[in-house]
Structure 1
Amino acid sequence: MWVITVYSKNNFNMFEYDTKKEAKEAFDKMKGFKILTEVIYFNDVRFVE
């Protein structure tokens, strides 16, 4: 899961995306101070060795 957090003067908004591609496309279109974050869960089988 990918999350974009957008900060404005008195609040913030968070948007969730399933893929990095769609998150990056939305991120590039947003204005203001923003952070793109990948959320990884400790029990996600893709990251278990």
Structure 2
Amino acid sequence: MWIITVYSKENTTLFEFDTEEEARNAFKKMTGNKILSEIVYFNDPCFTKITA
């Protein structure tokens, strides 16, 4: 999951995206102070131990 956090004088707004590509495209279009973050959960498939 990808999150864009946008800060303004009165508000902080979060936007969620499923893919990095759509998050980066939206990030380019947004103005103001913003942060793009990837949220990784400990049980995501990329952390599954592979045993032979």
Task: Please indicate the TM-score interval, normalised by the length of the shorter structure.
Answer: over 0.9
TM-score, scaled relative to structure 1: 0.92
Give the aligned partner of residue 32 of structure 2. 32
Which residues of structure 2 form unaligned runs of 5+? none
Letter in 2 for 1:33: N
Provide the aligned C-alpha RMSD in A: 0.8
For this pair of structures, how many residues does the alignment match? Answer: 49
1:5 Cα deviation after fit = 0.2
Percent sequence identity over matched residues? Answer: 59
Bigger Cα Rg: 2
TM-score, scaled relative to structure 2: 0.88
Which residues of structure 1 form unaligned runs of 5+? none
